[in-house]
């Protein structure tokens, strides 16, 4: 699979691998927020490479910094907020279309 780069309103994402698992490299700008969403099929693990990323779920707020990780189980509402320009890796099940947006 050839990596795919997609511009987002909050930054960009690049799918690095899609097979038995999916791996993405993501960049979120300071102060930007992803949409609130959850996944019906996939569990995902986020690992920050540079910067700081706030992850909000319906039960907690976690600040991730370089080298720290967090696993989000399927059906967990979440959104990410760039506390600084931030690059992180997302590893998950192979379900690229599995995102249910939540209106707040």
Check residue 55 and give its pLDDT.
98
* Backbone angles phi and psi of 37, in degrees to 5: -160, 175
Report yes or no: 22 and 15 within 8 Å, Cβ to Cβ.
yes
What is the predicted pLDDT for the residue at 71? 97
Entry field: residues in the chain: 104
Q: Tell me the β-bridge partners of 23.
A: 17, 91
Q: How far apart are CA 11 and CA 37, in angstroms?
A: 17
For the chain, report the end-to-end CA distance as a whole number of angstroms: 35
Six token digits for residue 56? 């909000």
In the chain, beta strands by DSSP E: 4-8, 11-18, 22-28, 37-38, 44-50, 53-57, 61-64, 69-72, 78-82, 86-92, 100-101
Positions in the chain short of pLDDT 70 = 1-3, 104
Total-model pTM:
0.91
Query: In this structure, which topology does domain 4-95 adopt according to CATH?
Result: Jelly Rolls (2.60.120)
- Locate the domains of the chain by residue range: 4-95
Question: pLDDT at position 3, please?
Answer: 67
């Amino acid at each position: 699979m050839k990596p795919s780069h997609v511009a987002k309103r909050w930054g960009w994402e690049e799918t690095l691998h899609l097979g038995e698992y999916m791996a993405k490299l993501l960049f979120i700008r300071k102060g930007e927020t992803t949409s609130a969403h959850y996944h019906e099929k996939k569990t995902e693990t986020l690992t920050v490479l540079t910067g700081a990323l706030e992850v909000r779920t319906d039960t907690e707020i976690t600040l991730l910094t370089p080298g720290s990780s967090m696993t989000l189980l399927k059906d967990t509402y979440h959104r990410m907020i760039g506390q600084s320009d931030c690059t992180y890796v997302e590893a998950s099940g192979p379900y690229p279309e599995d995102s249910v947006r939540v209106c707040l």
